[in-house]
């Protein structure tokens, strides 16, 4: 097979989600004379421009929400029938990967990779039932299985998790290394003083991320510690609802909504604690990034233990006890972590294999092997 080998990644869109960030981190660090990433998407994304600059091709088909089940399946079948140049398809659509890889199999694509980034489906009962139906095709259609954690493997590849390759969600660790200068700069930009204690969160405004719980614990914290500020980066369907809750609780002067940001590495420097009370996760890239920035991370017990990189920054707390979260944050205000360990975290993370260069080397070897 000649170079570059073109790998088709399948996603809904290339926005700043965890899976998409990992794909972009990989793409930037791969040898693009040997491997090119192309994309099959349904909507525009913030990374589209960068992808095209790096030589990637973006194909677009309508999503199931717009054309219904049969329209979506027809679009997938037509795509693979008319694009025989792809010999490797790498799908990141969780349960919906079943439909993608079934169409790829029928289109005679020899290598069909299913990649699990989560541990539960989003949506109401009907949506979850539909996704469950889609997921049934993965077992017969995937030639290779990849997951970000054992829990994510068990969820998407039930009874086949032992055949799944677990891949570390590597990051550009040196970009997240703590910098006092950046911290001061970002806090200045956000009109925050040295006296403010900053509780930070990065994530989509969606049910999975449990923003409502985050607001509840922050409201209690702010009542006791008025110098505390909550900074929220991200966007999503529940943002309006959360903004309303903030107004109802009279917290508008203590909560910053930053929207989608392209400088999370800078932003993390300004936080004092990272609070992440998700209902479920695969292995969140954002938590690896927060640890690289040396941040204490308070996270829900439902998140896989594999996200704890072993540098003593992660603490698991129960979603059944809001006051446990409040008192833990208060203890961090009175005993702040010194900035010396923050400087070392990115280095430790890199040495533990969480650097994207390691993941990129693995990916190059993996794609080379499966393309033979």
The rounded distance, in Å, linking the Cα atoms of 346 and 175 is 8
Helix residue spans in the chain (DSSP H): 18-29, 48-53, 64-82, 97-106, 125-135, 138-141, 150-156, 173-176, 180-189, 211-224, 239-248, 264-270, 285-292, 322-334, 339-349, 356-370
Give pLDDT, residue 56: 96
Choose among 27, 28, 31, 33: nearest CA to 8: 27
Question: From CA 152, how far away is CA 156, in angstroms rounded?
Answer: 6
- The answer to whether residue 162 scores a pLDDT higher than 90 is no
The pLDDT of residue 18: 81
Check residue 342 and give its pLDDT: 76
Q: Which residues of 262-298 are buried (b: 16+ CB within 10 A; e: fewer)?
A: eebbbbbbbbbbbbbbbbbbbbbbbbbbbbbbbbbbb
Whole-number average pLDDT of the chain = 92
Helix residue ranges, H only, 30-82: 48-53, 64-82
HSE (side-chain half, CA atoms, 13 Å) at 327: 6
pLDDT in tens, 96-130: 999 999 999 999 999 999 999 988 888 889 999 99
Q: Do domains 5-170+355-370 and 173-352 have the same CATH topology?
A: yes
Residue 28, classed as helix, strand or coil, is helix
Given a cut of 70, whether residue 338 has pLDDT beyond it is no
CATH: 3.40.1440.10, 3.40.50.800, 3.90.550.10, 3.40.50.2000. Which one for 5-170+355-370? 3.40.50.2000
Give the range among 37-46, 149-158, 194-203, 212-221 with minimum mean pLDDT.
Answer: 149-158
Q: Whole-angstrom distance between the N-terminal and C-terminal Cα of the chain?
A: 8
The bridge status of strand 297-300 relative to strand 273-276 is parallel
Query: Does the structure show a pLDDT above 90 at 163?
Result: no
pLDDT for the residue numbered 344: 74
pLDDT of res. 336? 59
> What number of other Cβ atoms are within 10 A of residue 116's Cβ?
28
Angstrom distance (rounded) from CA 211 to CA 233: 11
No. of helices (H) and no. of strands (E), the chain: 16, 13
Which pLDDT tens digit goes with each residue over 61-78? 999 999 999 999 999 999
CA gap 233, 123 in Å, rounded: 22
Q: How confident is the model at residue 41 (pLDDT cuts 50, 70, 90)?
A: very high
Note the residue count of the chain: 372
Report the predicted TM-score, pTM, of the whole model to 2 decimal places: 0.83
Q: Locate tokens 């677990």: which residue? A: 166
pLDDT score recorded for residue 12: 94
Please give the order of strands across the beta sheet that includes 88-91.
Answer: 58-60, 35-41, 5-10, 88-91, 111-116, 144-147, 165-166
| Segment 286-310, tens digit of pLDDT | 999 999 999 999 999 999 898 998 8
pLDDT tens digits, 237-267: 999 999 999 999 999 999 999 999 989 999 9
pLDDT of 169 over the 90 cut = no
Span 11-31, pLDDT tens digits: 999 988 888 989 999 999 999
d(CA 370, CA 266): 37
Q: 173-352 — its CATH code?
A: 3.40.50.2000
Give the number of C-alpha atoms closer than 13 A to the C-alpha of residue 61, restricted to the C-beta side: 21
| 248/258 Cα distance (integer angstroms) | 19
Q: Is the pLDDT of residue 59 over 80?
A: yes
Q: Tell whether the model's pLDDT for residue 341 goes beyond 80.
A: no
Closest CA to 196 of 238, 156, 153, 227: 227
**Does residue 339 surpass a pLDDT of 60?**
no
Coil, helix or strand at residue 163: helix
Question: Tell me, what's the pLDDT at 337?
Answer: 54
Three-state secondary-structure class, residue 60:
strand
Round to whole Å and give the CA distance between 305 and 296. 15
Percent of the chain with pLDDT over 70: 98
Per-domain residue ranges for the chain? 5-170+355-370, 173-352
């Amino acid at each position: 097979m000649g170079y570059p080998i073109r790998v088709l990644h399948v996603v809904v869109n290339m926005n700043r989600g965890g899976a998409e960030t990992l794909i972009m981190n990989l793409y930037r660090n791969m040898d693009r004379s040997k491997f090119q990433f192309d994309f099959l998407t349904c909507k525009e994304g913030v990374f589209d421009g960068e992808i095209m600059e790096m030589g990637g091709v973006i194909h677009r088909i309508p999503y199931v929400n717009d054309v219904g089940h049969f329209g979506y399946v027809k679009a997938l079948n037509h795509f693979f029938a008319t694009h025989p140049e792809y010999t490797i398809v790498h799908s990141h659509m969780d349960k919906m990967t079943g439909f993608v890889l079934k169409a790829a199999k029928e289109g005679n694509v020899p290598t069909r990779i299913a990649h699990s980034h989560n541990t539960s489906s989003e949506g109401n009962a009907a949506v979850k039932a539909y996704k469950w139906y889609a997921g049934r095709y993965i077992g017969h259609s995937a030639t290779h299985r990849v997951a970000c954690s054992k829990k994510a493997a068990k969820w998407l590849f039930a009874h086949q998790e032992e055949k799944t390759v677990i891949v570390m969600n590597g990051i550009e660790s040196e970009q997240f290394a703590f910098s006092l200068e950046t911290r001061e700069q970002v806090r200045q930009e956000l009109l925050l003083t040295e006296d403010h204690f900053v509780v930070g969160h990065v994530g989509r405004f969606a049910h999975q991320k449990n923003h409502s719980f985050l607001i509840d614990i922050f409201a209690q914290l702010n009542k006791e510690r008025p110098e505390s500020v909550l900074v929220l980066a991200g966007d999503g369907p529940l943002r309006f609802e959360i903004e309303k809750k903030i107004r109802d609780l009279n917290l508008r002067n203590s909560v910053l909504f930053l929207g989608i940001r392209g400088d999370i590495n800078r932003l993390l420097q300004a936080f004092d604690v990272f609070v992440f009370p998700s209902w479920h996760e695969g292995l969140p890239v954002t938590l690896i990034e927060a640890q690289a920035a040396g941040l204490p991370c308070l996270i829900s017990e439902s998140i896989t233990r594999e996200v704890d990189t072993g540098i003593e920054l992660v603490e698991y707390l129960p979603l059944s006890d809001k006051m446990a979260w409040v008192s833990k944050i208060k203890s961090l205000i009175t005993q702040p972590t010194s900035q010396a360990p923050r400087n070392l975290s990115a280095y430790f993370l890199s040495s533990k294999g969480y650097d994207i260069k390691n993941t990129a080397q693995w990916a190059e070897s993996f794609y080379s092997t499966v393309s033979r």
